[in-house]
Amino acid sequence: MTAPRTGPLSHVTVLDLSRIMAGPWSTQILADLGADVIKIERKGLGDDTRKWGPPYLNDTDGNPTQESGYYLSVNRGKRSVELDLTTTEGQDAVRALAKTSDIVVENFKVDTLARYGLDAASLRTINPRLIYCSITGFGSTGPRRTQAAYDFMVQAMGGLMSVTGERDGEAGAGPQKIGVPIVDIMTGMYASVAILAALARRNETGKGDTIDIAMLDVQTAFLANQAMNYLVSGKTPVRNGNKHPNIQPQDVFKCRDGHIVIAVGNDAQFEKFCAVLGMEGWAESSDFATNPARVLNLPVLHAEITKRLGTNDLSHWIAALSAQGVPCGPINTIPMVFEDPQVIHRGLLRNIPHPLSGTVPQVTSPMRFEDAILSFDTPPPLLGQHTEEVLKEFGLGAAASNKLEA
């Protein structure tokens, strides 16, 4: 049996018709918050990401399973039900589940679910309190509405890659994508925020709502300071390597035995930074005393910092700068992140029981509640693991189960 749910959404049921990353990221957030998330997967195939490997989780004998690392990263805390939505039986099952669910999340191409009578308008006729969130590449309106999209292409189309990567003229210059599927992740985050807002409004009105989330909209929205830099100046932002476009000194610098990130955020920190590096007079100079002056005179400043940091080891500079409250850090590998004492203390890595491997590692939610404690007891489900259990819970019974199986 599924473990009792805790968390602030333990009273909420989510019908998850999404797959790949953006939708499952959103529904995993809801599951972490305690919601009962029922993941509907294609009969015999499941979520596309189940096959997006290697790597795959190994079973207790050391053999690869069909559970890819990609799939395992976004499906914790859910229950898997296999359905064929192209059949009457599958469609009827979704309607039965939607009738008493609070939220539906889907990321089919625009108009696909309308053909099956599973669109927002259809399902809300049987459940007016239903909150229905559609996630697509380009939204339900506009000239691109029917086109498919993936994170990589939206990073390119939405301008992110134009400001990511080494600047022209430098070694390795050229546009770069972010090292994680950031558009998918941010789309899932925006979807979750919108869903929770609709849930709060439903408490006041008694009615659900329909939410339209587009990946390109999200990417455009989180251009943030780079968008505003252009809109207020008229100048096109460019790739600038690791240099911050607005605040200096913020960059990667080479030490004697490695690299350090310096993230000076204000004039007081710059004064302390100069004292540690022995840059007497720089913090008082009109060319460097203020952030606007440092941005304008960055080539001279950058060269001097580079020269001084190169005289000693990374550990020396981390200790000396940290002691003075100057933000800095090493560039950790992924294994080093999970060895960091702060990450260990916060409990971000958990091993939870898994039916094939004994345990499965999970990077848990960063959200912490004093009263509504989050629990992480339910691993990403096997394909169809909960089909019979869920159908019985929702009153579909053995007959419906047999029809669907047939």
pTM over 0.85: yes
Looking at 119, 184, 217, 251, which residue is catalytic?
184
For each of the domains in the chain, give its residue range(s) and CATH number, in order of start: 13-221+343-405 (3.40.50.10540), 250-338 (3.30.1540.10)
* 173: DSSP letter: B
CA pair distance 349, 351, nearest whole angstrom: 7
Asked if the model's pLDDT at residue 39 lies above 90, the reply is: yes
Q: pLDDT tens digits for 142-159? A: 999 999 999 999 999 999
Mean pLDDT across 276-305: 97
Residue 401 has a pLDDT of 54
User: Which residues, listed in sequence order, are joined to residue 363 by a DSSP beta bridge?
Assistant: 349
pLDDT band at 404 (very low <50, low <70, confident <90, very high): low
Question: H or E element: which one contains 308?
Answer: helix 298-309
CA pair distance 51, 59, nearest whole angstrom: 16
Residue 374 has a pLDDT of 94
What does each C-alpha distance from 96 to 121, 127, 242, 245, 403 come to in angstroms? 15, 10, 52, 53, 15
Q: pLDDT tens digits for 55-107? A: 999 999 999 999 999 999 999 999 999 999 999 999 999 999 999 999 999 99
Mean pLDDT across 128-143: 98
Residue 2 has a pLDDT of 59
Residue 5 has a pLDDT of 80
- Angle between the 397-405 and 88-99 helix axes, to the nearest 10 degrees? 140
Closest CA to 114 of 106, 191, 21: 106
Q: Does residue 147 sit in helix, strand or coil?
A: coil
Provide the mean pLDDT of the chain.
Answer: 95
Asked if the model's pLDDT at residue 398 lies above 60, the reply is: no
Residue 1 has a pLDDT of 47
pLDDT band at 6 (very low <50, low <70, confident <90, very high): confident
Give start and end residues of each alpha helix (H) in 84-235: 88-99, 120-126, 151-157, 182-205, 215-221, 224-233
User: Higher confidence at residue 6 or residue 190?
Assistant: 190
Look at 13-27, 220-234, 390-404 and tell me which has the smallest mean pLDDT: 390-404
Residue 4 has a pLDDT of 75
Give percent of the chain with pLDDT exceeding 90: 95
pLDDT band at 405 (very low <50, low <70, confident <90, very high): low
Mean pLDDT across 234-263: 95
Catalytic site includes residue 184: yes
Whether the CA torsion 339, 27, 191, 202 is positive or negative: it is negative
Mean pLDDT across 376-394: 96
Mean pLDDT across 7-17: 97
Residue 200 has a pLDDT of 98
Mean pLDDT across 189-199: 98
Q: pLDDT tens digits for 295-330? A: 999 999 999 999 999 999 999 999 999 999 999 999
